[in-house]
Amino acid sequence: MTLVTKLAPSILAADYANFASELKRIEETGVDYVHIDLMDGQFVPNISFGADVVASMRKHSKLVFDCHLMVVNPERYIDALAQAGADIMTIHTESTPHIHGALQKIRAAGMKAGVVINPGTPLTALEPVLDLVDQVLIMTVNPGFGGQAFIPSTLTKVQDLVTLRQERGLAFDIEVDGGIDDTTIKLAQQAGANVFVAGSYLFKGDLAANVARLTEVLNA
Ligand code: DX5
Ligand code: ZN
């Protein structure tokens, strides 16, 4: 099984008043993914934006839209996000009692399905749905805000997930999100992740140079 390494700049760290130009700037660095965080002020304290904004972004970008929903009952937004042009919809096991059905609906709506767990949630929470997903996101910070410190204990879950994937003969991507910089990205890669979200690290200073730096570390 060959998994492709992807860097996913998080638009949460970009300029909210200029999404069109920020998307262009991300695209020009040569990455394929943009990570889009939807927050409702309930599942997490912060509020970002919803599916209408994603639809507006779609008009300005051909990047893969990797949508991470930090909202209560995310199944309410499956149709809206599919229509908005989202490519991947990743939902938290902690956010709905209907994670199994919701993941099936995401695929039925034509998107790739992702499941995500918080740092305090054990891997067992997603074991029953692993065969329904294209991507598993292991949060490496508590969700809600950019700029937090990476939590090293989450790496054990990445390692255990690699083992589980092999045992089950599955092929989903493993993504990490939170506190990723030019040191922690290597730790996450060594643990077995292949999709790396980065927000504040990339958008502080020169975006292109920061993407190049993370790519260099990943290729080293
Ligand atoms: C946090 C979000 C992340 C955030 C990461 O809840 O899910 O995607 O943008 O930001 P950094 O890379 O700054 O930790
Ligand atoms: Zn995220």
For the stretch 102-153, pLDDT in tens is 999 999 999 999 999 999 999 999 999 999 999 999 999 999 999 999 999 9
Q: Which of 40, 66, 134, 177 is catalytic?
A: 177
How far is ligand 2, taken at its centre, from the CA of residue 140, in Å?
A: 10
pTM of structure: 0.97
With respect to residue 44, please indicate whether it lies within any of the assigned structural domains. Answer: yes
With respect to residue 42, please indicate whether it lies within any of the assigned structural domains. Answer: yes
Domain that includes residue 170, residue range: 6-219
**What kind and span of H or E run contains 175?**
strand 173-177
Domain of 77, CATH number, reads 3.20.20.70
Tell how far CA 212 is from the center of its chain: 20
Using one digit for the tens of pLDDT, what is the confidence trace for 34-44? Answer: 999 999 999 99
Confidence of residue 2 (pLDDT cuts 50, 70, 90): confident
How many domains, the chain? 1
CB of residue 10 inside a 6 A radius of ligand 1: yes
Unique residue bearing structure tokens 């749905």 = 129
Is 90 exceeded by the pLDDT of residue 59?
A: yes
With respect to residue 1, please indicate whether it lies within any of the assigned structural domains. Answer: no
**Backbone φ and ψ of 33, nearest 5°:** -105, 150
Is 70 exceeded by the pLDDT of residue 19?
A: yes
How far is ligand 1, taken at its centre, from the CA of residue 150, in Å?
A: 10
**Contact at 8 Å (CB) between 89 and 78?**
yes
With respect to residue 110, please indicate whether it lies within any of the assigned structural domains. Answer: yes
Using one digit for the tens of pLDDT, what is the confidence trace for 145-201? Answer: 999 999 999 999 999 999 999 999 999 999 999 999 999 999 999 999 999 999 999
With respect to residue 50, please indicate whether it lies within any of the assigned structural domains. Answer: yes
Looking at the CA of 142, name the nearest ligand.
Answer: 1
Average pLDDT over residues 15-39: 97
Asked if 177 is an active-site residue, the reply is yes
Ligand 1 atom closest to the Cα of residue 46 is: 6
Residue 215 token pair: 């790519």
Is 70 exceeded by the pLDDT of residue 212?
A: yes
With respect to residue 119, please indicate whether it lies within any of the assigned structural domains. Answer: yes
With respect to residue 170, please indicate whether it lies within any of the assigned structural domains. Answer: yes
With respect to residue 46, please indicate whether it lies within any of the assigned structural domains. Answer: yes
Q: Which of 37, 40, 87, 134 is catalytic?
A: 37
Give the mutation target among 37, 137, 184 for probing the ligand 1 site: most ligand atoms within 8 A of CB: 37
